[in-house]
Structure 1
Amino acid sequence: MTLFEIIILAIIQGLTEFLPISSSAHLILPSEVLGWNNQGLAFDVAVHVGSLLAVMIYFREDIWRLSLAWFGQGFSKQQSTDSRLAWWVIIGTIPAGAFGFLMKDFIEVYARSALVIATTTIVFGLLLWYADAKAKQIKKIEHIGLKETIFIGIAQAIAVIPGTSRSGITMTAGLMLGLTRDAAARFSFLLSIPIILAAGLFSTLDLVESPEAIDWSALLYGAAFSFVAAYACIYLFLSWISRIGMLPFVIYRLLLGVILLIFVFA
């Protein structure tokens, strides 16, 4: 890849990992529209590392607080708000981890087509609009319980299907349960940490077994630009989401889905 391609793909990954607009839908565009080559497994690992560092640094105080609470009170009868939330992050990760592990090969073979991604981009975009428009949006993140966690966790598992958007569907589920936009987004971002970490570890294992040549400068640039884009994305999204709502992202998803359909049937 050229440096220009590295920068563009890293920024796309960093932004779309956390915005409710589907990273897979965007990463297919350069190859479909511009004819770029696949970025390769090593680059995927690098940009995911950048995104993971961004969300962990942004939520470093939350991670530290939840970790202390979980180790201190996570196995006691008297649970604090933070120890419960730590449990919810762990439990909410299980469905996606299990589904992703079991369905990985099937998804790779049958669900990575432009038609599937275009369809899911539109369908789940409309579902996001409905949830944002109709939900009560009164619950804060500390009001999340086991039932809410399981519901959001199952929603996150569905995001294994390309085009769904992990952040988009978890926020949609949170809004349907009555969470505020800020609470739905924050819980979605906290849930992303173990999922991105697990995906990065599995990709790293695949990379170790792969004969693919590694361009270390490309990986460094990819991780760096992905980190900057992801951190800026999280900061701005949480600053604006309560005011602007989900409608701009819904409109964007619908336009993106239509563009992909045009390329599919052109």
Structure 2
Amino acid sequence: MNLGDALLLGVVQGVSEWLPISSKTQIMLISTALFKSPPQYAYSLGLFLEAASVIAALIYFRGLYLKALRGLLGDREGRRWLTYMVVTTIVTGAVGVPLYYLARKSLLAGQSAGWLMIALGAAVMLNAVILQRAKSAAGLKSFGQMSLREMALVGLAQALSVLPGVSRSGATTTTLLLLGYKPEEAFKASFVLVPIAGLGATVLSYIAEGDGVATAEALAAMAFGVVVSIATIKALLEFAKSKHVVLVNAVVGLLAIAGGILRITLGS
């Protein structure tokens, strides 16, 4: 992977993280299709580059995180945000870590790039269908009404997103919409969890791959990803609320399936 490849991965990470199309899946597809990376390594690389989204989110949502910290001093709203982050993190860690090792050692072991692209493409399209149905079920609840049980459900949804093809933002946003929260509340509550989940994903991938994933090119891709995220996050958040996100999921999924069929046909 050269600097041009790192730029491509950084742009993909910086854009796809903020849409419910699974950034790690896009990194996996590009790495296996263009760079001929083994599926397990491509999976770890997709999680490692989540650090770019962590840094960007910390910068963009810094006011909200400071408010959460004020919860330690008695701020009522800040305490609720802090509780939300703690509960979702505990549940995500308890369920997500075992799932990561299951996916890496079992689901991806011995998979050809062609069949992997087809499976991931189908998963991305399924994300689109579920999200569209969830948007129809959205209600009028605000974040201040969230119970501990609902926080735990969001944490569970986030844990499931460690699996290949499952979007973190899509899974958490869909859960919140199905629980009856307003779309703008659902997207905000989903995106503020990016630093915690992303940092965990980066650490897990580094533990699994070591210096093999933290290469100079990967770090360059991460830097590009931060710049792209900061430059486009506001527009992408608005775009993610629109009906067009379903079209994006469908197009990405179809391209991945078509690419997988082509690779199998060509025997590569």
* TM-score range for the pair, normalised by the shorter chain length: 0.7 to 0.9
Alpha-carbon shift at residue 72 of structure 1 (Å): 2.1
TM-score by length of 2: 0.83
Task: Select which of 60, 63, 77 maps to 2:62.
Answer: 60
3-state DSSP of counterpart to 1:28: helix
Q: Distance in 2 between matches of 1:40 and 1:81?
A: 40
The answer to whether the aligner puts 1:128 opposite 2:128 as a matched pair is: no
Q: Deviations over 1:191-250 (max 9, x none)?
A: 222111222223334454x5x49653x345322211012223422233455xxx342111
Q: Distance in 2 between matches of 1:93 and 1:102?
A: 14
**Of 30-39 and 119-128, the range deviating more from structure 2:** 30-39
Alignment-mate amino acid for residue 152 of structure 1:
V
Q: Distance in 2 between matches of 1:264 and 1:219?
A: 25
Alignment-mate amino acid for residue 18 of structure 1:
W
Alpha-carbon shift at residue 257 of structure 1 (Å): 1.6
Q: Distance in 2 between matches of 1:40 and 1:24?
A: 9
CA contact (8 A) 1:88 1:145 kept: no
Any residues of structure 2 matched to 1:171-190 within 5 Å, and which?
171-190=173-192
- Change in Cα spacing, 1:43 to 1:116, as seen in structure 2 (3 Å) is closer
CA contact (8 A) 1:12 1:23 kept: yes
Alpha-carbon shift at residue 67 of structure 1 (Å): 1.0
Q: Which residues of structure 2 form unaligned runs of 5+?
A: 109-115, 263-268
Q: Distance in 1 between matches of 2:170 and 2:124?
A: 10
Q: Distance in 1 between matches of 2:137 and 2:77?
A: 28
Q: Distance in 2 between matches of 1:240 and 1:146?
A: 30
Q: Distance in 2 between matches of 1:257 and 1:114?
A: 9
Alpha-carbon shift at residue 135 of structure 1 (Å): 2.1
Q: Which residue of 1 aligns with 2:26?
A: 26
Alpha-carbon shift at residue 55 of structure 1 (Å): 0.3
Alpha-carbon shift at residue 104 of structure 1 (Å): 2.1
3-state DSSP of counterpart to 1:125: helix
**Matched residue count:** 253
Q: Distance in 2 between matches of 1:171 and 1:200?
A: 22
The answer to whether the aligner puts 1:111 opposite 2:107 as a matched pair is: yes
Q: Which residue of 2 aligns with 1:72?
A: 73
Q: Identity across aligned pairs (percent)? A: 25
Alpha-carbon shift at residue 53 of structure 1 (Å): 0.9
The answer to whether the aligner puts 1:256 opposite 2:259 as a matched pair is: no
CA contact (8 A) 1:182 1:238 kept: no
Q: Distance in 1 between matches of 2:87 and 2:181?
A: 18
Alignment-mate amino acid for residue 228 of structure 2:
A
CA contact (8 A) 2:22 2:168 kept: yes
Alpha-carbon shift at residue 115 of structure 1 (Å): 3.4
Q: Which residues of structure 1 form unaligned runs of 5+?
A: 74-78
Any residues of structure 2 matched to 1:33-52 within 5 Å, and which?
33-37=33-37, 47-52=49-54
Any residues of structure 2 matched to 1:164-175 within 5 Å, and which?
164-175=166-177
CA contact (8 A) 2:47 2:198 kept: no
Q: Deviations over 1:146-168 (max 9, x none)?
A: 23212222211221221110001
CA contact (8 A) 1:175 1:181 kept: yes
- Calculate the aligned-residue CA RMSD, in Å: 2.6
Q: Which residue of 1 aligns with 2:234?
A: 235
Alignment-mate amino acid for residue 72 of structure 1:
L
CA contact (8 A) 1:42 1:219 kept: no
- Change in Cα spacing, 1:206 to 1:261, as seen in structure 2 (3 Å) is closer
- Change in Cα spacing, 1:232 to 1:148, as seen in structure 2 (3 Å) is farther
TM-score by length of 1: 0.83
- Change in Cα spacing, 1:262 to 1:83, as seen in structure 2 (3 Å) is same
- Change in Cα spacing, 1:105 to 1:68, as seen in structure 2 (3 Å) is same
